[in-house]
């Protein structure tokens, strides 16, 4: 099965507040996106491709409410808290944190954990506390993943190496997988490989051979987990990525990188059409 994931980050913020949203009022943004894409995605066989969209928390309820009958779209949240509610246990004293059970109750069926931006934030907090153990972030992510799986969510687990780590990429990726997925049912996991060293303006993205090498290594050490390219699936690289046999899809974020930068549903659908070939 192929997997096309969409990380909407904070693309809901209007331009007058420094964001990139020009497609819908912020209170209609989540429902607008789901309504704009789901009917067009029905042409793809459900057994051949999975479409998951990761929304900022404020938009989860309207996004779920916009799902039509037999919608091909799965609504997901952007990570979960490392603790959770439990029957006859804690009832929800987790101010400022989104739990996996809370996301499931809203109607989410999936979550994205370990995105490079989440990793950077956690590493920064730990550094402020004087923690130098580089495995600490992966241990926290492991707790989040276990909570997500326990709540019935599937997980897109993001891993990747920075420019400072690129020479020892095997060691870095193996640690992220071994620690992050320790004790986890891997049948609920898809891995997204983020080449952090290549993300950003002016950076040179990895070529087909490099992506093939990485994808093969991840499949080997995870004993066959599906792997998608998390460095940005775009119209420009969709055909190339579709031709990498060891990769099982990609992660989309922005669809337009010049002019009116932002996410646009029609361009999202064009990326999928290019990747799928129809």
CATH of the domain at 70: 3.20.20.70
Active site annotation includes 115? yes
pLDDT of residue 200: 80
Whole-angstrom distance, CA of residue 157 vs CA of residue 70: 26
Whole-angstrom distance, CA of residue 113 vs CA of residue 131: 21
- Mean of all residue pLDDT scores within the chain: 97
**pLDDT tens digits, one per residue of 120-179:** 999 999 999 999 898 999 999 999 999 999 999 999 999 999 999 999 999 999 999 999
Whole-angstrom distance, CA of residue 114 vs CA of residue 54: 13
Residues belonging to the chain: 278
CA distances from residue 128 to 121, 131, 132, 189, 193 in whole angstroms, order as listed = 11, 8, 10, 31, 27
Given the residues 59, 115, 144, 161, the one annotated as active site: 115
Cα(first)–Cα(last) distance of the chain, in Å?
Answer: 16
- Say if residue 1's pLDDT is above 80: yes
Give the confidence band of 190 by pLDDT, cuts at 50, 70, 90.
very high
User: What is the DSSP-derived secondary structure letter of residue 234?
Assistant: -
- Say if residue 256's pLDDT is above 90: yes
Note whether 196 and 160 are within 8 A (CB).
Answer: yes
pLDDT of residue 154: 98
Percent over 70 (pLDDT), the chain: 100
- Say if residue 247's pLDDT is above 90: yes
**pLDDT tens digits, one per residue of 223-235:** 999 999 999 999 9
The answer to whether the Cα torsion of 56, 38, 194, 113 is positive or negative is positive
Tokens of 142: 């492991």
Active site annotation includes 3? no
In total, how many domains does the chain have?
A: 1
Residue carrying structure tokens 């999202």 = 268
Given the residues 50, 118, 144, 194, the one annotated as active site: 194
Residue carrying structure tokens 């109750």 = 105
Selection from 277, 166, 158, 162 nearest residue 227 by Cα: 158
- The residue segments making up the domain with residue 46 are 2-276
Give me the residues paired with residue 21 across strands. Answer: 14
Tokens of 68: 């039509």
pLDDT of residue 90: 84
């Amino acid at each position: 099965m192929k997997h096309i994931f969409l990380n909407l980050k904070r693309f809901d913020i209007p331009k007058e507040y420094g964001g990139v949203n020009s497609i819908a009022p912020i209170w209609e943004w989540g429902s607008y996106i789901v309504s704009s894409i789901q009917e067009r995605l029905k042409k793809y066989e459900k057994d051949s491709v999975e479409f998951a969209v990761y929304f900022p928390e404020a938009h989860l309820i309207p996004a779920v409410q916009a799902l039509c009958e037999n919608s091909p779209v799965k609504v997901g949240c952007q990570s979960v808290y490392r603790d959770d509610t439990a029957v006859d246990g804690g009832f929800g004293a987790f101010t400022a944190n989104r739990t996996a059970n809370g996301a499931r109750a809203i109607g989410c069926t999936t979550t994205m954990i370990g995105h490079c931006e989440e990793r950077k934030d956690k590493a920064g907090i730990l550094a402020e506390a004087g923690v130098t153990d580089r495995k600490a972030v992966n241990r926290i992510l492991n707790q989040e993943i276990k909570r997500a799986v326990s709540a019935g969510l599937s997980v897109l687990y993001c891993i990747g190496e920075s420019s400072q780590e690129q020479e020892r990429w095997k060691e870095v990726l193996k640690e992220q997988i071994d620690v992050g997925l320790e004790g986890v049912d891997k049948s609920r996991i898809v891995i997204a490989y983020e080449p952090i060293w290549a993300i950003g303006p002016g950076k040179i993205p990895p070529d087909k051979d490099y992506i093939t090498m990485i994808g093969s290594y991840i499949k080997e050490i995870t004993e066959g987990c599906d792997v998608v390219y998390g460095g940005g699936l775009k119209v420009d690289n969709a055909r190339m990525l579709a031709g990498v046999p060891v990769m099982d899809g990609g992660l989309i974020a922005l669809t337009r990188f010049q002019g009116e930068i932002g996410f646009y549903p029609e361009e999202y659908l064009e990326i999928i059409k290019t990747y799928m070939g129809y």
